[in-house]
Amino acid sequence: MDGNALRALLANNIKWHRANCGFSQEKLAELAGISISFLSAIETGKKWPYPETLARLSAALNISAAEFFVQEGVSLDFVDSVGKKANEALALLSEIHSGLTGILSRMSQVPPPCGTCL
């Protein structure tokens, strides 16, 4: 999916969720702490919001920010499952990084071999 398609998906999903909650653009903008013109620009795909703005929009709509990027026919259970697996992988990589850092630290404390030992 290219950037334009992703922006269109975001725009359509925000509009859909806003309508589903019965909110006007004015009401959602007020709840999310953004201007009506900025919300309109997001909903028409002209502007790309910062993650903080997406978080405020999702909170105002009482949904997960991930739901803004769900294509029709993709279940949220699948999205949640992928997110959990990604978090597990990141935790494992963090543990590996910590272990390797410890090994390298201990290796740097070993004195170099003397000339007679070679």
Domain boundaries, the chain: 3-69, 76-110
Structure tokens at 89: 């992988």
Helices and strands (H, E) in the chain, number of each type: 5, 0
Q: What is the pLDDT of residue 69?
A: 86
CATH classification code of 3-69: 1.10.260.40
CA distance 37 to 53: 14
CA distance 41 to 20: 19
Using one digit for the tens of pLDDT, what is the confidence trace for 38-96? 999 999 999 999 999 999 999 999 988 888 888 875 555 655 666 677 667 777 888 89
Give the pLDDT band of residue 115 (cuts 50, 70, 90): low
CA distance 49 to 66: 14
Nearest C-alpha neighbor of 48 from the set 99, 6, 88: 6
Model-level pTM? 0.61
> In 3-state terms, the chain is what percent helix, strand and coil (to 5)?
75, 0, 25
CA distance 91 to 63: 25
Q: What is the pLDDT of residue 103?
A: 87
